[in-house]
């Protein structure tokens, strides 16, 4: 993009941006002739990825700001008006909007709600911060046609985002996502209405308790052993951190109602979009749980829990044999919950007909083995919880399977069908019950995890990522994936690659016979997977929400008897060798 094109896009933006702060940023860059920064802000419009609209807060079409929020919402409203013309004609379209604790989230949420209202939607707006899973629940509870939550999930504080939902409570998927982008790109007129006018006309309704209380009740209803909790609750101590996000009110309320003692990290309890105590508010990161673990040690807690800013992700740590806390990975918690849910349904006689679990393609297959031991089938889907929700919907349409549980390695879990997204609140409640259950059997969560390793093999995983910001970074990632796709990888970590699965091309093949392809039943996505002869799997995937590429490594070693140490050493050796090769590939890129 040449300088004249950049300036033309910048000046068009300035003519439409009503927020002076964002406009001033762009004017300053023009005055300074900072074309490198201007290009990064204007070389594209933010697009819907696996998590919707997400970007750095600031002025520009490639940034999160009020203009881009208004434009996206107008395009979204236009799409629903065209898709449901009878409802549009009758004035019965409706939407619900929520937000988390990030900077500008409340401003962006109100702007979103008022655009919907200006287009004739009856629009519900939460009066304060609410978790993403509650937004999904609200769509279904209120019977809305769409919903939006303003959040950038676990991204750093300079980010914000915008997740758009369909009328089933799930995030927008294909073909709607691409068609909505077309509508957004075609927007020429953004309708507007003031807050007071929208309230007076009944187009805007403020909500809170009418959704909060049914949501809390629903989460509690999904527990398997409420009597055990009532009896044993005083024996368990839980330390929890919402990481300055939306979770405190909900986790404290639900677990408190169950009689459980929850000690929230005081320095991280209050919402704060600057996330002052963490560099990265992600429960996947050990550093994010540091304060909670320190408090857990001090309080001699049985489990440490964390949710990310919009409370859809859930992380945890448990005491080890020496009293220090051990972090439970997303794959490990998925395995533990798979085991507990299947075991509980079997014990209580509530296992449905043709039960099935859904996981993403980059998630460890350990859960598959556990589920199979209970007679439960596992299905794969693309990365991103909207794809788990899509498979869940297929279950309901075909009646071929009954949904039991859905999860992904990035700390996302869904226990209930009333929410069509990952739910950190319900995961926290079930983890608390699971902790109590195994305690009643004389075991910790770590003890049970080791039993599962002995029974099903020791699984170890590692994720590697590298950022490639800006327009040139996007091209670098495209070239890297193209090179991997063209040249392939015949070995990794000294192990032979037996099968390559190219999700973009919807096929799998052997590196020795690349022309002989087998079709795979997954939507097309820019993902490559390398299945090694020893059972290890390496997946390469550009992020849908950030300018980076991710590699996921999963290794499995069989356990001889009860000797976990040898299996751990073998898996770690394989992981280390593969990691070194991947880092070399990234360095060359």
3-state secondary structure 486-499: HHCCCEECCEEEEE
Catalytic residue (one of 94, 136, 153, 543): 153
The CATH number corresponding to 44-207 among 3.40.50.720, 3.40.120.10, 1.20.1560.10, 3.30.420.40 equals 3.40.120.10
Distance separating alpha carbons of residues 50 and 61, to the nearest angstrom: 19
Domain at 458-588, CATH homologous superfamily: Sirohaem synthase, central domain (3.30.160.110)
pTM score? 0.93
pLDDT in tens, the chain (589 residues): 899 999 999 999 999 998 999 999 999 999 999 999 999 999 988 876 555 788 999 999 999 999 999 999 999 999 999 999 999 999 999 999 999 999 999 999 999 999 999 999 999 999 999 999 999 999 999 999 999 999 998 889 999 999 999 999 999 988 898 888 889 889 999 999 999 999 999 999 999 999 999 999 999 999 999 999 989 999 899 999 999 999 999 999 999 999 998 999 999 999 999 999 999 999 999 999 999 999 999 999 999 999 999 999 999 999 998 889 999 999 999 999 999 999 999 999 999 999 999 999 999 999 999 999 999 999 999 998 999 999 999 999 999 999 999 999 999 999 999 999 999 999 999 999 999 999 999 999 999 999 999 999 999 999 999 998 877 888 889 999 999 998 878 999 999 999 999 999 999 999 989 999 999 999 999 999 999 999 999 999 987 666 789 999 999 999 988 889 999 999 999 999 999 999 999 988 8
Domain boundaries, the chain: 1-42, 44-207, 215-319, 331-456, 458-588
The answer to whether domain 215-319 has CATH 3.60.20.10 is: no
Distance separating alpha carbons of residues 260 and 331, to the nearest angstrom: 26
- Per the annotation, the verdict on 467 as an active-site residue is no
Residue with tokens 């809170």: 208
Distance separating alpha carbons of residues 390 and 407, to the nearest angstrom: 13
The architecture that CATH gives domain 331-456 is 3-Layer(aba) Sandwich (3.40)
Topology match between the domains 44-207 and 215-319: yes
Q: Which token pair is 546? A: 């950030």
319: phi then psi, degrees, rounded to nearest 5: -65, 140
Distance separating alpha carbons of residues 163 and 138, to the nearest angstrom: 14
Inter-residue contact 159 to 54 (CB < 8 Å): yes
CA atoms within 13 A on the CB side of 117: 26
Closest by CA to 453, choosing from 358, 328, 293, 286, is 328
């Amino acid at each position: 993009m040449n300088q004249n094109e950049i300036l033309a896009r910048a000046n068009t933006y300035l003519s439409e941006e009503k927020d002076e702060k964002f406009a001033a940023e762009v004017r300053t860059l023009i005055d300074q002739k900072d074309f490198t920064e201007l290009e990064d802000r204007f070389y594209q419009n933010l697009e819907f990825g696996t998590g919707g609209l997400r970007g750095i807060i600031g002025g520009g079409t490639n940034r999160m700001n009020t203009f881009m929020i208004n434009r996206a919402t107008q395009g979204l409203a236009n799409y629903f008006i065209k898709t449901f013309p009878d409802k549009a004609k009758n004035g019965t379209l409706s939407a619900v909007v929520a937000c988390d604790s990030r900077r500008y989230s409340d401003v962006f949420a109100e702007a979103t709600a008022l655009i919907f209202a200006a287009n004739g939607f009856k629009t519900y707006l939460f009066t304060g911060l609410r978790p993403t899973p509650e937004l999904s629940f609200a769509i279904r509870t209120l019977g809305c046609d769409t919903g939006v939550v303003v959040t950038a999930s676990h991204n750093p504080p300079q980010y914000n985002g915008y997740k758009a939902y369909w009328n089933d409570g799930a995030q927008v998927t294909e073909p709607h996502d691409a068609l909505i982008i077309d509508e957004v790109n075609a927007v020429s007129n953004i309708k507007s209405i003031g807050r007071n006018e929208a309230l007076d006309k009944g187009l805007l309704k403020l909500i809170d308790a009418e959704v909060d209380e049914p949501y809390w009740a629903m989460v509690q209803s999904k527990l398997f052993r409420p009597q055990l909790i009532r009896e044993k609750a005083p024996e368990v101590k839980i330390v929890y951190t919402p990481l300055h996000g939306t979770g405190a009110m909900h986790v404290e309320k639900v677990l408190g109602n169950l009689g459980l003692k929850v000690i929230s990290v005081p320095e991280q309890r209050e919402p704060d979009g600057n996330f002052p105590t963490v560099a990265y508010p992600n429960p996947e990161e050990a550093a994010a749980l540091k304060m909670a673990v320190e408090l857990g040690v001090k309080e001699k807690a049985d489990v440490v829990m964390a949710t990310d800013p919009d409370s859809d992700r859930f992380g945890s740590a448990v005491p080890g044999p020496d009293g220090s806390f051990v972090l439970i990975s997303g794959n490990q918690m998925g395995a533990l919950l798979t085991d507990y849910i299947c075991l509980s349904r079997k014990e209580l006689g509530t296992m449905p007909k043709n039960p099935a679990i859904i996981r993403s393609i980059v998630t460890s297959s350990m859960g598959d083995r556990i589920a199979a031991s209970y007679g439960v089938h596992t299905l794969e889907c693309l990365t991103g919880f909207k794809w788990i929700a899509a498979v869940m919907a297929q279950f309901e349409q075909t009646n071929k399977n009954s949904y039991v549980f859905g999860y992904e390695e990035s700390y996302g879990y869904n226990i209930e069908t009333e929410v069509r997204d990952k739910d950190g609140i319900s995961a926290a409640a079930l983890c608390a019950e699971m902790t109590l259950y195994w305690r009643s059997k004389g075991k910790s969560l770590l003890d049970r995890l080791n039993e599962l390793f002995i029974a099903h093999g020791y699984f170890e995983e590692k994720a590697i990522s590298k950022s490639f910001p800006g327009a040139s970074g996007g091209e670098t990632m495209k070239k890297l994936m193209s090179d991997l796709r063209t040249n392939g990888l015949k070995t990794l970590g000294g192990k032979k690659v037996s099968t390559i699965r190219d999700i973009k091309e919807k096929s799998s093949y052997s590196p020795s016979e690349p022309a002989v392809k087998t079709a795979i039943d997954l939507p097309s996505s820019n993902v490559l997977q390398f299945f090694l002869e020893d059972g290890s799997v390496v997946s390469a995937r550009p992020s849908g929400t950030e300018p980076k590429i991710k590699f996921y490594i999963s290794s499995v070693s069989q356990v001889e008897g009860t000797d976990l140490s040898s299996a751990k050493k073998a898996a770690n050796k394989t992981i280390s060798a593969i990691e070194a090769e991947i880092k070399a590939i990234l360095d060359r890129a």
